[in-house]
Amino acid sequence: MMITDLVAPEAILPALKVISKKQALQELALRASALTGQNERAVFEVLLQREKLGTTAVGYGVAIPHGKLPKLDRLFGMFARLDRPIDFEAMDGQPVDLVFLLLAPEGAGADHLKALARIARLLRDQDVAKKLRASRDAQAIYSVLALPPATAA
């Protein structure tokens, strides 16, 4: 599975301006609802519920908020590079500036988990993260995300 199977060029936010984890989730829910046709409040609630189970910040300045929605028909990804790092309650204490939202249909099962693992592997790669942080526009970010796993590093 390629990351580009999950995220379209229009689902990339190169400089999202937020000041808190809650605001980040609200902005992502707003933009995801526009691209998926899902209810904004439902998207926000599913992300909030998941965060209550434990932070989706995976360390190294990366967070992967995710959730499942009953009316979604396919996996949906959205990537945001934050204008300024924010506290996401990460285990390593690092503020987050790279966020990959993943929404899945309720019955996605293993596909959802495979996608999460693939995203985590890619974004924890320090060379990839450095390239994403250096990219200033959506096309540049999409190009980094589109690299095959071996050359992305």
Residues designated as active site: 66
Distant-in-sequence contacts of 117-120, Cβ < 8 A, 24+ apart? 118/1, 118/3, 119/3, 119/6, 119/64, 119/77, 120/58, 120/62, 120/64
